[in-house]
Chains A and B, each alone.
Chain A
Amino acid sequence: MKIGTWFLKITIGVMFLMAVAIAIIPAPQIAIAVMSDAPKSLGFVGLMLIGGLYLVILGFLAAAWQAERLLLVIDRSDAFSRRSVKLLATIKWCVAVMAVGTLCWLPYLYVLVQQEDAPGLMFIGLCIIAVPIVMAVFLDVLQRLWAAALDYKEETDLTI
Chain B
Amino acid sequence: MIEISLDEWLVKRNMTLTQLAAEVGITVANLSILKTGKAKAVRFSTLERICAVLDCQPGDILHYKAQ
Contact = CB atoms under 8 A, between A and B. Distances in A.
Interface stretch (A56-64, A70-78, A152-160): A152-160
Contacts of A155: 40-41
A85 to B, nearest CB: 19
Interface in B29-60: 30-31, 33-34, 38-43, 46
Q: Which of A154, A155, A158, A160 has the most CB of B within 10 A?
A: A160
Interface residues of B, number: 12
Nearest to B34: A160
Nearest to B31: A160
A155 B40 CA distance: 6
Contacts of B42: 159-160
Contacts of B33: 158, 160
Q: What's the dominant secondary structure at chain A's contact region?
A: mixed
Interface string A110-148: 000000000000000000000000000000000000000
Place the interface of chain A in its size category.
under 10
A154 B46 CA distance: 18
A154 B38 CA distance: 11
A158 B29 CA distance: 11
Interface in A64-100: none
B62 interface: no
B25 to A, nearest CB: 12
Nearest to B32: A160
Q: Which of B31, B34, B40, B43 has the most CB of A within 10 A?
A: B40
Given A158-B40, A160-B46, 7 more contacts: A155-B40, A158-B38, A159-B39, A159-B41, A160-B26, A160-B30, A160-B33
A158 B46 CA distance: 13
Interface in B9-43: 26, 30-31, 33-34, 38-43
